Amino acid sequence: MLVWLHLISLLVLVLLGFYVFVENPRNRAHQTFATFITFLAFWTIKDLFFWNFEELQAFAYHWASLSLVIALLMQYALVVFALVFPENLSIPRRKLLILFSPGLVFILATVFGFLFDSVGFLADGKFHIKLMPVSYAFVLYIYLVFGYGAIILVRKFLKYRGTEQGKQLGAILWALGITVVLKTIVNIVLPCFDNYKFLPYSSLLVLPGVLIYTYAITNFNLFSLQTALDQFSFFPLSYKVALSVASVAISSFVIFQIPIVWWAFRDGMNAEAWKKYLTASIVSALAPNLLLVLIIVRSISRPLQRITLAAIRVINGEYGTTVNMRKTNDEIGILIDFFNQMSRKMAEDIEKLQKLNQQLIQAEKLAAMGTLASGLAHEINNPLASIYSLIQMIQKHENLDKDAKEKLNLVQSQILRIKRVTSDMMDFARVRPSTRQLVDLNGVIESSLRLVSFDETFKKLDVSKDFDPDLPKILADPNQMQQVFLNILLNARDAMPNGGKILIKTRKLDGNIEIEIADTGIGIRKENLGKIFDPFFTTKAAGKGTGLGLAVCYGIITAHEGKIEVESNSDGTKFVIKLPIKE
Protein backbone atom coordinates (compact mmCIF):
# COMPACT_ATOMS: atom_id res chain seq x y z
CA MET A 1 0.00 0.00 0.00
CA LEU A 2 2.80 2.43 0.92
CA VAL A 3 4.53 1.97 -2.41
CA TRP A 4 1.37 2.98 -4.29
CA LEU A 5 0.94 6.04 -2.10
CA HIS A 6 4.51 7.08 -2.87
CA LEU A 7 4.03 6.50 -6.60
CA ILE A 8 0.79 8.51 -6.66
CA SER A 9 2.45 11.29 -4.66
CA LEU A 10 5.38 11.34 -7.10
CA LEU A 11 3.06 11.46 -10.12
CA VAL A 12 1.05 14.34 -8.62
CA LEU A 13 4.22 16.29 -7.85
CA VAL A 14 5.59 15.86 -11.37
CA LEU A 15 2.29 16.92 -12.96
CA LEU A 16 1.95 19.97 -10.71
CA GLY A 17 5.53 21.08 -11.28
CA PHE A 18 5.23 20.59 -15.03
CA TYR A 19 1.90 22.43 -15.15
CA VAL A 20 3.14 25.45 -13.20
CA PHE A 21 6.40 25.68 -15.12
CA VAL A 22 4.92 25.55 -18.61
CA GLU A 23 2.18 28.01 -17.62
CA ASN A 24 4.83 30.73 -17.64
CA PRO A 25 8.32 29.24 -18.16
CA ARG A 26 10.02 32.66 -18.23
CA ASN A 27 8.55 33.77 -14.92
CA ARG A 28 11.14 33.46 -12.13
CA ALA A 29 8.54 32.53 -9.51
CA HIS A 30 7.29 29.67 -11.68
CA GLN A 31 10.84 28.54 -12.37
CA THR A 32 11.65 28.56 -8.65
CA PHE A 33 8.45 26.70 -7.77
CA ALA A 34 9.28 24.06 -10.37
CA THR A 35 12.73 23.74 -8.77
CA PHE A 36 11.09 23.33 -5.32
CA ILE A 37 8.82 20.60 -6.73
CA THR A 38 11.86 18.89 -8.28
CA PHE A 39 13.61 18.71 -4.90
CA LEU A 40 10.39 17.45 -3.32
CA ALA A 41 10.12 14.77 -6.00
CA PHE A 42 13.66 13.62 -5.16
CA TRP A 43 12.60 13.47 -1.51
CA THR A 44 9.65 11.25 -2.49
CA ILE A 45 11.84 9.00 -4.66
CA LYS A 46 14.26 8.64 -1.76
CA ASP A 47 11.43 7.54 0.57
CA LEU A 48 9.90 5.34 -2.12
CA PHE A 49 12.99 3.16 -2.46
CA PHE A 50 14.09 3.23 1.19
CA TRP A 51 10.80 2.35 2.87
CA ASN A 52 9.50 -0.13 0.29
CA PHE A 53 12.58 -2.28 -0.48
CA GLU A 54 14.26 -4.06 2.42
CA GLU A 55 17.60 -4.56 0.69
CA LEU A 56 18.00 -0.77 0.41
CA GLN A 57 17.33 -0.15 4.10
CA ALA A 58 20.97 -0.95 4.79
CA PHE A 59 21.75 2.50 3.36
CA ALA A 60 19.93 4.29 6.20
CA TYR A 61 22.75 6.79 6.77
CA HIS A 62 22.70 7.87 3.14
CA TRP A 63 18.92 8.16 3.26
CA ALA A 64 19.01 10.35 6.40
CA SER A 65 21.86 12.52 5.08
CA LEU A 66 20.11 12.98 1.75
CA SER A 67 16.93 13.98 3.62
CA LEU A 68 18.68 16.89 5.33
CA VAL A 69 20.42 18.05 2.14
CA ILE A 70 17.18 17.97 0.11
CA ALA A 71 15.32 19.75 2.93
CA LEU A 72 17.94 22.52 2.83
CA LEU A 73 17.70 22.83 -0.96
CA MET A 74 13.91 23.15 -0.71
CA GLN A 75 14.27 26.02 1.75
CA TYR A 76 16.73 27.72 -0.59
CA ALA A 77 14.11 27.46 -3.37
CA LEU A 78 11.51 28.88 -0.95
CA VAL A 79 13.68 31.94 -0.19
CA VAL A 80 14.29 32.63 -3.89
CA PHE A 81 10.56 32.32 -4.54
CA ALA A 82 9.77 34.72 -1.69
CA LEU A 83 12.20 37.30 -3.10
CA VAL A 84 10.83 37.27 -6.66
CA PHE A 85 7.08 36.67 -6.15
CA PRO A 86 4.69 38.25 -7.10
CA GLU A 87 6.61 41.06 -8.86
CA ASN A 88 8.85 38.70 -10.89
CA LEU A 89 11.88 40.58 -9.57
CA SER A 90 15.46 39.74 -10.48
CA ILE A 91 17.30 37.34 -8.18
CA PRO A 92 19.73 39.10 -5.77
CA ARG A 93 22.62 36.66 -6.29
CA ARG A 94 25.14 38.30 -3.92
CA LYS A 95 22.64 38.44 -1.08
CA LEU A 96 21.72 34.80 -1.58
CA LEU A 97 25.37 33.75 -1.82
CA ILE A 98 25.96 35.13 1.69
CA LEU A 99 22.79 33.52 3.02
CA PHE A 100 23.45 30.13 1.43
CA SER A 101 27.19 29.88 2.07
CA PRO A 102 26.83 28.13 5.53
CA GLY A 103 24.99 25.33 3.77
CA LEU A 104 28.22 24.28 2.04
CA VAL A 105 29.73 23.54 5.48
CA PHE A 106 26.82 21.33 6.45
CA ILE A 107 26.86 19.51 3.12
CA LEU A 108 30.57 18.74 3.60
CA ALA A 109 29.78 17.51 7.12
CA THR A 110 27.21 15.20 5.55
CA VAL A 111 29.76 13.84 3.06
CA PHE A 112 32.30 13.09 5.79
CA GLY A 113 29.77 11.42 8.11
CA PHE A 114 29.53 13.99 10.92
CA LEU A 115 25.74 14.11 11.18
CA PHE A 116 24.56 10.88 12.75
CA ASP A 117 25.97 8.72 15.50
CA SER A 118 23.74 5.88 14.39
CA VAL A 119 20.79 5.46 12.05
CA GLY A 120 18.94 2.38 10.86
CA PHE A 121 16.80 -0.50 11.99
CA LEU A 122 17.40 -2.19 15.38
CA ALA A 123 17.31 -5.91 16.02
CA ASP A 124 13.62 -5.76 16.91
CA GLY A 125 12.90 -4.11 13.51
CA LYS A 126 12.27 -0.64 14.92
CA PHE A 127 13.79 2.37 13.14
CA HIS A 128 16.10 4.60 15.19
CA ILE A 129 18.19 7.78 14.66
CA LYS A 130 20.82 9.18 17.03
CA LEU A 131 21.99 12.67 16.03
CA MET A 132 25.38 14.29 16.50
CA PRO A 133 25.73 18.00 17.49
CA VAL A 134 26.33 19.06 13.89
CA SER A 135 22.94 17.60 12.95
CA TYR A 136 21.16 19.88 15.43
CA ALA A 137 22.97 22.88 13.96
CA PHE A 138 22.04 21.69 10.44
CA VAL A 139 18.34 21.39 11.37
CA LEU A 140 18.43 24.80 13.08
CA TYR A 141 19.98 26.37 9.95
CA ILE A 142 17.24 24.82 7.81
CA TYR A 143 14.56 26.37 10.02
CA LEU A 144 16.36 29.73 9.98
CA VAL A 145 16.39 29.74 6.18
CA PHE A 146 12.71 28.77 6.16
CA GLY A 147 11.92 31.52 8.67
CA TYR A 148 13.71 34.12 6.55
CA GLY A 149 11.64 33.16 3.50
CA ALA A 150 8.42 33.16 5.55
CA ILE A 151 9.15 36.65 6.92
CA ILE A 152 9.64 38.00 3.38
CA LEU A 153 6.28 36.49 2.34
CA VAL A 154 4.51 37.92 5.40
CA ARG A 155 5.86 41.41 4.63
CA LYS A 156 4.70 41.17 1.05
CA PHE A 157 1.32 39.89 2.20
CA LEU A 158 0.89 42.98 4.39
CA LYS A 159 1.96 45.17 1.48
CA TYR A 160 -0.48 43.64 -1.02
CA ARG A 161 -3.35 42.93 1.39
CA GLY A 162 -6.74 43.32 -0.30
CA THR A 163 -5.39 42.70 -3.82
CA GLU A 164 -5.19 39.57 -5.96
CA GLN A 165 -1.49 39.29 -5.10
CA GLY A 166 -2.38 39.55 -1.42
CA LYS A 167 -4.81 36.63 -1.77
CA GLN A 168 -2.11 34.57 -3.48
CA LEU A 169 0.43 35.35 -0.76
CA GLY A 170 -2.12 34.55 1.95
CA ALA A 171 -2.83 31.15 0.42
CA ILE A 172 0.89 30.43 0.08
CA LEU A 173 1.45 31.30 3.76
CA TRP A 174 -1.35 28.91 4.72
CA ALA A 175 0.28 26.19 2.58
CA LEU A 176 3.66 26.77 4.23
CA GLY A 177 2.10 26.79 7.69
CA ILE A 178 0.29 23.48 7.14
CA THR A 179 3.39 21.88 5.64
CA VAL A 180 5.86 23.03 8.31
CA VAL A 181 3.55 21.98 11.16
CA LEU A 182 2.97 18.48 9.76
CA LYS A 183 6.63 17.98 8.79
CA THR A 184 7.85 19.24 12.18
CA ILE A 185 5.55 16.88 14.06
CA VAL A 186 6.48 13.83 11.98
CA ASN A 187 10.20 14.52 11.43
CA ILE A 188 11.17 16.32 14.67
CA VAL A 189 8.67 16.08 17.50
CA LEU A 190 7.60 12.41 17.30
CA PRO A 191 11.20 11.11 16.75
CA CYS A 192 12.21 12.97 19.93
CA PHE A 193 9.80 10.64 21.73
CA ASP A 194 11.22 7.65 19.84
CA ASN A 195 8.16 7.45 17.59
CA TYR A 196 9.10 6.81 13.96
CA LYS A 197 6.01 5.05 12.67
CA PHE A 198 4.82 8.09 10.66
CA LEU A 199 8.23 8.81 9.15
CA PRO A 200 7.58 6.73 5.98
CA TYR A 201 4.60 8.99 5.29
CA SER A 202 6.59 12.19 5.63
CA SER A 203 6.74 12.86 1.88
CA LEU A 204 2.97 12.43 1.61
CA LEU A 205 2.24 15.12 4.18
CA VAL A 206 3.47 17.90 1.90
CA LEU A 207 0.83 17.24 -0.77
CA PRO A 208 -1.93 19.40 0.82
CA GLY A 209 0.47 22.32 1.12
CA VAL A 210 1.78 21.83 -2.42
CA LEU A 211 -1.77 21.77 -3.84
CA ILE A 212 -2.64 25.02 -2.05
CA TYR A 213 0.70 26.48 -3.12
CA THR A 214 0.06 25.57 -6.76
CA TYR A 215 -3.54 26.77 -6.59
CA ALA A 216 -2.34 30.17 -5.40
CA ILE A 217 0.55 30.68 -7.82
CA THR A 218 -1.67 29.85 -10.81
CA ASN A 219 -4.14 32.63 -9.86
CA PHE A 220 -6.58 30.09 -8.39
CA ASN A 221 -7.16 28.44 -11.79
CA LEU A 222 -5.49 25.10 -11.04
CA PHE A 223 -8.67 23.03 -11.14
CA SER A 224 -10.19 24.71 -14.19
CA LEU A 225 -10.27 22.29 -17.13
CA GLN A 226 -10.56 25.13 -19.65
CA THR A 227 -7.53 26.83 -18.10
CA ALA A 228 -5.56 23.61 -18.37
CA LEU A 229 -6.51 23.23 -22.04
CA ASP A 230 -5.65 26.88 -22.70
CA GLN A 231 -2.28 26.43 -21.06
CA PHE A 232 -1.58 23.37 -23.19
CA SER A 233 -2.10 25.47 -26.33
CA PHE A 234 0.61 27.84 -25.04
CA PHE A 235 3.15 25.08 -24.34
CA PRO A 236 6.49 25.64 -26.01
CA LEU A 237 7.27 22.99 -28.59
CA SER A 238 9.91 21.30 -26.44
CA TYR A 239 7.39 20.84 -23.64
CA LYS A 240 4.81 19.41 -26.01
CA VAL A 241 7.34 16.90 -27.28
CA ALA A 242 8.41 16.10 -23.71
CA LEU A 243 4.81 15.60 -22.64
CA SER A 244 4.14 13.45 -25.70
CA VAL A 245 7.20 11.29 -24.97
CA ALA A 246 6.17 10.91 -21.33
CA SER A 247 2.57 10.07 -22.28
CA VAL A 248 3.66 7.49 -24.84
CA ALA A 249 6.15 5.96 -22.41
CA ILE A 250 3.61 5.64 -19.58
CA SER A 251 0.88 4.38 -21.91
CA SER A 252 3.16 1.79 -23.52
CA PHE A 253 4.29 0.63 -20.08
CA VAL A 254 0.70 0.10 -18.91
CA ILE A 255 -0.54 -1.37 -22.19
CA PHE A 256 2.46 -3.54 -23.11
CA GLN A 257 5.04 -3.99 -20.36
CA ILE A 258 2.78 -5.10 -17.50
CA PRO A 259 1.05 -7.83 -19.60
CA ILE A 260 4.41 -8.86 -21.08
CA VAL A 261 5.99 -9.27 -17.62
CA TRP A 262 3.01 -11.31 -16.45
CA TRP A 263 3.09 -13.50 -19.55
CA ALA A 264 6.86 -14.03 -19.53
CA PHE A 265 7.48 -14.63 -15.82
CA ARG A 266 4.28 -16.30 -14.66
CA ASP A 267 6.05 -19.67 -14.51
CA GLY A 268 9.20 -18.31 -12.89
CA MET A 269 12.35 -16.46 -13.92
CA ASN A 270 14.41 -18.68 -16.18
CA ALA A 271 16.18 -18.42 -19.50
CA GLU A 272 13.01 -19.16 -21.47
CA ALA A 273 11.10 -16.48 -19.53
CA TRP A 274 13.78 -13.88 -20.24
CA LYS A 275 13.71 -14.89 -23.91
CA LYS A 276 9.94 -14.32 -24.01
CA TYR A 277 10.29 -11.02 -22.19
CA LEU A 278 13.05 -9.60 -24.40
CA THR A 279 11.37 -10.70 -27.65
CA ALA A 280 7.97 -9.30 -26.73
CA SER A 281 9.51 -6.08 -25.36
CA ILE A 282 11.42 -5.41 -28.58
CA VAL A 283 8.34 -6.03 -30.72
CA SER A 284 6.06 -3.97 -28.47
CA ALA A 285 8.55 -1.08 -28.46
CA LEU A 286 8.11 -0.57 -32.21
CA ALA A 287 4.59 0.84 -31.97
CA PRO A 288 5.37 3.54 -29.35
CA ASN A 289 8.57 4.50 -31.15
CA LEU A 290 6.76 4.83 -34.47
CA LEU A 291 4.15 6.95 -32.71
CA LEU A 292 6.89 9.19 -31.30
CA VAL A 293 8.44 9.56 -34.74
CA LEU A 294 5.04 10.51 -36.14
CA ILE A 295 4.54 13.12 -33.40
CA ILE A 296 7.99 14.63 -33.96
CA VAL A 297 7.57 14.67 -37.76
CA ARG A 298 4.13 16.23 -37.46
CA SER A 299 5.19 18.77 -34.83
CA ILE A 300 8.62 19.76 -36.13
CA SER A 301 9.75 18.31 -39.45
CA ARG A 302 6.70 18.99 -41.60
CA PRO A 303 6.21 22.64 -40.51
CA LEU A 304 9.94 23.35 -40.97
CA GLN A 305 9.82 21.78 -44.43
CA ARG A 306 6.91 24.01 -45.42
CA ILE A 307 8.67 27.09 -44.07
CA THR A 308 11.82 26.15 -46.02
CA LEU A 309 9.88 25.69 -49.28
CA ALA A 310 8.08 29.01 -48.73
CA ALA A 311 11.43 30.73 -48.07
CA ILE A 312 12.84 29.32 -51.33
CA ARG A 313 9.82 30.67 -53.21
CA VAL A 314 10.35 34.10 -51.68
CA ILE A 315 14.04 33.99 -52.65
CA ASN A 316 12.96 33.18 -56.22
CA GLY A 317 10.86 36.33 -56.33
CA GLU A 318 7.42 35.07 -55.22
CA TYR A 319 7.06 37.81 -52.60
CA GLY A 320 4.01 37.50 -50.39
CA THR A 321 4.20 33.68 -50.23
CA THR A 322 2.71 32.43 -46.95
CA VAL A 323 2.72 29.14 -45.05
CA ASN A 324 -0.79 27.80 -44.52
CA MET A 325 -0.91 25.69 -41.36
CA ARG A 326 -3.07 25.36 -38.29
CA LYS A 327 -2.20 28.20 -35.90
CA THR A 328 -0.31 27.15 -32.77
CA ASN A 329 1.31 29.13 -29.99
CA ASP A 330 4.60 27.25 -29.80
CA GLU A 331 7.88 28.38 -31.34
CA ILE A 332 7.07 26.99 -34.81
CA GLY A 333 3.61 28.58 -34.77
CA ILE A 334 5.14 31.95 -33.86
CA LEU A 335 7.84 31.46 -36.52
CA ILE A 336 5.21 30.74 -39.19
CA ASP A 337 3.17 33.78 -38.14
CA PHE A 338 6.20 36.09 -38.28
CA PHE A 339 7.34 34.55 -41.60
CA ASN A 340 3.92 35.22 -43.14
CA GLN A 341 3.93 38.79 -41.83
CA MET A 342 7.47 39.32 -43.13
CA SER A 343 6.62 37.90 -46.56
CA ARG A 344 3.49 40.04 -46.90
CA LYS A 345 5.34 43.13 -45.67
CA MET A 346 8.14 42.43 -48.15
CA ALA A 347 5.62 42.19 -50.99
CA GLU A 348 3.99 45.46 -49.92
CA ASP A 349 7.35 47.23 -49.57
CA ILE A 350 8.56 46.02 -52.98
CA GLU A 351 5.29 47.18 -54.56
CA LYS A 352 5.75 50.59 -52.91
CA LEU A 353 9.36 50.75 -54.11
CA GLN A 354 8.28 49.92 -57.64
CA LYS A 355 5.68 52.71 -57.53
CA LEU A 356 8.25 55.13 -56.10
CA ASN A 357 10.70 54.11 -58.81
CA GLN A 358 8.07 54.74 -61.48
CA GLN A 359 7.36 58.15 -59.95
CA LEU A 360 11.07 58.98 -59.92
CA ILE A 361 11.40 57.95 -63.55
CA GLN A 362 8.33 60.02 -64.39
CA ALA A 363 9.73 63.00 -62.50
CA GLU A 364 13.06 62.68 -64.34
CA LYS A 365 11.21 62.53 -67.67
CA LEU A 366 9.17 65.59 -66.79
CA ALA A 367 12.25 67.53 -65.66
CA ALA A 368 14.19 66.63 -68.81
CA MET A 369 11.26 67.32 -71.13
CA GLY A 370 10.49 70.55 -69.31
CA THR A 371 13.99 71.85 -69.91
CA LEU A 372 13.89 70.72 -73.54
CA ALA A 373 10.40 72.13 -74.10
CA SER A 374 11.31 75.51 -72.61
CA GLY A 375 14.37 75.92 -74.82
CA LEU A 376 12.63 74.57 -77.91
CA ALA A 377 9.56 76.79 -77.49
CA HIS A 378 11.75 79.86 -76.99
CA GLU A 379 13.77 79.14 -80.14
CA ILE A 380 10.62 78.51 -82.21
CA ASN A 381 8.58 81.47 -80.98
CA ASN A 382 11.09 84.12 -82.02
CA PRO A 383 11.22 83.26 -85.78
CA LEU A 384 7.48 82.49 -85.73
CA ALA A 385 6.75 85.98 -84.44
CA SER A 386 8.79 87.47 -87.31
CA ILE A 387 7.09 85.29 -89.91
CA TYR A 388 3.65 86.12 -88.52
CA SER A 389 4.42 89.86 -88.67
CA LEU A 390 5.61 89.57 -92.26
CA ILE A 391 2.45 87.74 -93.27
CA GLN A 392 0.31 90.44 -91.70
CA MET A 393 2.26 93.09 -93.61
CA ILE A 394 1.84 91.20 -96.92
CA GLN A 395 -1.91 90.76 -96.27
CA LYS A 396 -2.28 94.57 -96.16
CA HIS A 397 -1.23 94.91 -99.83
CA GLU A 398 -4.28 95.78 -101.93
CA ASN A 399 -3.07 94.14 -105.16
CA LEU A 400 -3.16 90.58 -103.75
CA ASP A 401 -5.38 88.19 -105.64
CA LYS A 402 -7.87 85.87 -103.94
CA ASP A 403 -5.71 82.74 -104.28
CA ALA A 404 -2.72 84.45 -102.62
CA LYS A 405 -4.89 85.68 -99.75
CA GLU A 406 -6.23 82.17 -99.11
CA LYS A 407 -2.71 80.74 -99.04
CA LEU A 408 -1.54 83.47 -96.66
CA ASN A 409 -4.52 82.79 -94.38
CA LEU A 410 -3.63 79.07 -94.41
CA VAL A 411 -0.02 79.86 -93.49
CA GLN A 412 -1.25 82.19 -90.74
CA SER A 413 -3.55 79.50 -89.28
CA GLN A 414 -0.69 76.97 -89.24
CA ILE A 415 1.56 79.47 -87.48
CA LEU A 416 -1.15 79.98 -84.84
CA ARG A 417 -1.35 76.23 -84.44
CA ILE A 418 2.42 76.05 -83.88
CA LYS A 419 2.13 78.87 -81.35
CA ARG A 420 -0.54 76.94 -79.46
CA VAL A 421 1.79 73.92 -79.29
CA THR A 422 4.70 76.04 -78.10
CA SER A 423 2.39 77.75 -75.60
CA ASP A 424 1.46 74.33 -74.20
CA MET A 425 5.15 73.47 -74.03
CA MET A 426 5.88 76.69 -72.15
CA ASP A 427 2.99 75.99 -69.73
CA PHE A 428 4.38 72.49 -69.16
CA ALA A 429 7.91 73.76 -68.49
CA ARG A 430 7.07 76.94 -66.55
CA VAL A 431 7.57 76.90 -62.78
CA ARG A 432 4.32 78.51 -61.64
CA PRO A 433 4.25 80.80 -58.61
CA SER A 434 2.43 79.40 -55.61
CA THR A 435 -1.05 80.89 -55.33
CA ARG A 436 -2.50 78.29 -53.01
CA GLN A 437 -5.53 78.99 -50.92
CA LEU A 438 -8.31 77.06 -49.19
CA VAL A 439 -10.23 75.48 -52.06
CA ASP A 440 -13.57 73.69 -52.23
CA LEU A 441 -12.87 71.01 -54.83
CA ASN A 442 -16.57 70.35 -55.35
CA GLY A 443 -16.89 73.95 -56.48
CA VAL A 444 -13.81 73.72 -58.73
CA ILE A 445 -15.26 70.63 -60.44
CA GLU A 446 -18.63 72.35 -60.90
CA SER A 447 -16.84 75.33 -62.49
CA SER A 448 -14.93 73.00 -64.83
CA LEU A 449 -18.17 71.29 -65.85
CA ARG A 450 -19.74 74.65 -66.68
CA LEU A 451 -16.80 75.50 -68.94
CA VAL A 452 -16.87 72.23 -70.89
CA SER A 453 -20.68 72.35 -71.14
CA PHE A 454 -20.32 74.94 -73.93
CA ASP A 455 -18.71 72.28 -76.11
CA GLU A 456 -21.25 70.75 -78.51
CA THR A 457 -19.74 67.23 -78.26
CA PHE A 458 -19.67 67.34 -74.45
CA LYS A 459 -23.38 68.16 -74.40
CA LYS A 460 -24.07 64.66 -75.74
CA LEU A 461 -22.58 63.07 -72.61
CA ASP A 462 -24.55 62.00 -69.54
CA VAL A 463 -22.70 63.44 -66.51
CA SER A 464 -23.48 62.03 -63.02
CA LYS A 465 -22.15 63.54 -59.80
CA ASP A 466 -21.71 61.92 -56.39
CA PHE A 467 -20.17 64.68 -54.29
CA ASP A 468 -19.49 64.45 -50.56
CA PRO A 469 -21.37 67.44 -49.12
CA ASP A 470 -19.02 67.53 -46.10
CA LEU A 471 -15.84 67.49 -48.17
CA PRO A 472 -13.22 69.57 -46.32
CA LYS A 473 -11.39 72.37 -48.08
CA ILE A 474 -7.73 71.86 -48.97
CA LEU A 475 -4.80 74.18 -49.60
CA ALA A 476 -4.37 74.23 -53.39
CA ASP A 477 -4.10 76.41 -56.49
CA PRO A 478 -7.69 76.60 -57.87
CA ASN A 479 -6.58 77.48 -61.41
CA GLN A 480 -4.21 74.53 -61.59
CA MET A 481 -6.87 72.19 -60.16
CA GLN A 482 -9.31 73.45 -62.78
CA GLN A 483 -6.71 72.79 -65.48
CA VAL A 484 -6.40 69.17 -64.25
CA PHE A 485 -10.15 68.56 -64.27
CA LEU A 486 -10.60 70.22 -67.66
CA ASN A 487 -7.87 68.06 -69.23
CA ILE A 488 -9.40 64.83 -67.86
CA LEU A 489 -12.97 65.82 -68.82
CA LEU A 490 -11.91 66.77 -72.38
CA ASN A 491 -10.01 63.50 -72.72
CA ALA A 492 -13.18 61.68 -71.65
CA ARG A 493 -15.12 63.62 -74.30
CA ASP A 494 -12.62 62.59 -76.98
CA ALA A 495 -12.91 58.92 -75.87
CA MET A 496 -16.73 59.01 -76.41
CA PRO A 497 -17.38 60.76 -79.75
CA ASN A 498 -20.78 59.06 -80.06
CA GLY A 499 -21.91 59.81 -76.52
CA GLY A 500 -21.49 58.04 -73.19
CA LYS A 501 -21.48 58.53 -69.44
CA ILE A 502 -19.16 60.30 -67.03
CA LEU A 503 -19.35 59.67 -63.28
CA ILE A 504 -17.58 62.07 -60.90
CA LYS A 505 -17.21 61.16 -57.20
CA THR A 506 -15.58 63.00 -54.32
CA ARG A 507 -15.00 61.67 -50.80
CA LYS A 508 -12.74 61.90 -47.76
CA LEU A 509 -10.72 58.74 -47.11
CA ASP A 510 -7.73 58.05 -44.82
CA GLY A 511 -6.68 61.69 -44.44
CA ASN A 512 -6.99 62.36 -48.19
CA ILE A 513 -9.57 63.75 -50.57
CA GLU A 514 -10.24 61.36 -53.44
CA ILE A 515 -11.71 62.44 -56.76
CA GLU A 516 -12.82 59.75 -59.23
CA ILE A 517 -13.64 60.64 -62.83
CA ALA A 518 -14.84 57.58 -64.77
CA ASP A 519 -16.05 57.40 -68.37
CA THR A 520 -17.54 54.67 -70.56
CA GLY A 521 -15.27 55.36 -73.50
CA ILE A 522 -13.04 53.14 -75.58
CA GLY A 523 -10.49 52.80 -72.78
CA ILE A 524 -6.71 52.77 -72.91
CA ARG A 525 -4.73 49.79 -74.06
CA LYS A 526 -2.88 47.93 -71.36
CA GLU A 527 0.50 48.49 -73.00
CA ASN A 528 -0.14 52.26 -73.01
CA LEU A 529 -1.24 52.67 -69.38
CA GLY A 530 2.33 53.19 -68.18
CA LYS A 531 3.00 55.87 -70.79
CA ILE A 532 -0.02 58.18 -70.62
CA PHE A 533 1.71 60.62 -68.23
CA ASP A 534 4.81 60.80 -70.43
CA PRO A 535 5.28 64.13 -72.22
CA PHE A 536 4.25 64.12 -75.90
CA PHE A 537 2.72 60.65 -75.70
CA THR A 538 -0.71 60.56 -77.33
CA THR A 539 -2.94 58.04 -79.04
CA LYS A 540 -5.00 60.72 -80.76
CA ALA A 541 -4.82 61.38 -84.47
CA ALA A 542 -2.29 63.91 -85.78
CA GLY A 543 -3.37 67.44 -85.07
CA LYS A 544 -5.82 66.37 -82.33
CA GLY A 545 -3.45 66.65 -79.34
CA THR A 546 0.09 67.43 -78.25
CA GLY A 547 0.45 64.70 -75.58
CA LEU A 548 1.16 67.28 -72.90
CA GLY A 549 -2.22 67.46 -71.14
CA LEU A 550 -1.87 64.49 -68.78
CA ALA A 551 1.82 65.22 -68.25
CA VAL A 552 0.82 68.69 -67.02
CA CYS A 553 -1.86 67.10 -64.80
CA TYR A 554 0.72 64.73 -63.31
CA GLY A 555 3.08 67.62 -62.58
CA ILE A 556 0.34 69.69 -60.90
CA ILE A 557 -0.92 66.84 -58.70
CA THR A 558 2.57 65.74 -57.57
CA ALA A 559 3.45 69.38 -56.84
CA HIS A 560 0.45 69.35 -54.47
CA GLU A 561 1.92 66.22 -52.80
CA GLY A 562 -0.86 64.11 -54.24
CA LYS A 563 -1.21 61.10 -56.51
CA ILE A 564 -2.98 60.53 -59.81
CA GLU A 565 -3.73 56.96 -60.90
CA VAL A 566 -5.54 55.46 -63.85
CA GLU A 567 -7.51 52.26 -64.39
CA SER A 568 -8.79 51.29 -67.80
CA ASN A 569 -10.39 48.42 -69.68
CA SER A 570 -12.81 47.93 -72.55
CA ASP A 571 -15.64 49.38 -70.44
CA GLY A 572 -13.94 52.73 -69.97
CA THR A 573 -11.31 54.65 -68.04
CA LYS A 574 -11.21 55.87 -64.44
CA PHE A 575 -8.84 58.51 -63.08
CA VAL A 576 -8.34 58.63 -59.29
CA ILE A 577 -6.80 61.77 -57.79
CA LYS A 578 -5.70 61.74 -54.13
CA LEU A 579 -4.83 65.01 -52.43
CA PRO A 580 -3.72 65.27 -48.78
CA ILE A 581 -5.81 67.24 -46.30
CA LYS A 582 -3.62 69.75 -44.46
CA GLU A 583 -4.45 72.33 -41.84
Within 10 angstroms of residue 39's Cβ, the number of other Cβ atoms is 19
DSSP 469: T
C-alpha–C-alpha distance, residues 152 and 202, integer Å: 26
pLDDT tens for each residue of the chain, 583 residues long = 788 888 888 888 887 887 777 667 778 888 888 888 889 889 999 988 888 888 888 888 899 999 999 999 999 999 999 999 888 888 888 888 888 899 899 988 888 888 888 888 887 778 888 888 888 999 999 999 999 999 999 999 999 888 888 888 888 899 889 988 998 998 889 888 888 888 888 888 888 888 887 777 776 554 454 555 555 555 566 666 766 777 777 777 778 888 888 888 888 888 888 888 888 888 777 777 777 777 777 677 777 888 888 888 888 888 888 888 777 666 777 788 888 888 888 888 888 777 767 666 655 655 555 555 666 665 677 777 777 777 777 777 777 777 777 777 878 777 776 776 666 555 555 545 557 788 899 998 888 888 777 777 788 888 898 998 888 988 888 888 888 888 888 888 888 888 888 999 999 888 889 999 999 888 887 777 767 777 665 655 544 555 567 777 888 888 888 888 888 887 888 999 999 887 5
> CATH number of the domain at 2-234, please?
1.20.1070.10
> Backbone dihedral region of 510: left (phi > 0), alpha (psi from -120 to 50 degrees) or beta?
left
Phi, psi of 298 (to 5 degrees): -70, -35
DSSP 453: T
Mapped onto helix, strand or coil, the DSSP state of residue 516 is strand
pTM of the model: 0.53
Q: How far is CA 96 from CA 81, 93, 153, 426, in A?
A: 12, 5, 16, 84
Q: How far is CA 557 from CA 197, 218, 483, 486, 528, in A?
A: 95, 61, 11, 14, 20
Helix axes 271-296, 258-265, angle to 10 degrees: 160
Tell me the HSE value of 476 on the side-chain side, using a 13 A CA sphere.
28
| In the chain, where the domains are located | 2-234, 235-318, 434-580
Mapped onto helix, strand or coil, the DSSP state of residue 482 is helix
Mapped onto helix, strand or coil, the DSSP state of residue 561 is coil
Architecture of domain 434-580: 2-Layer Sandwich (3.30)
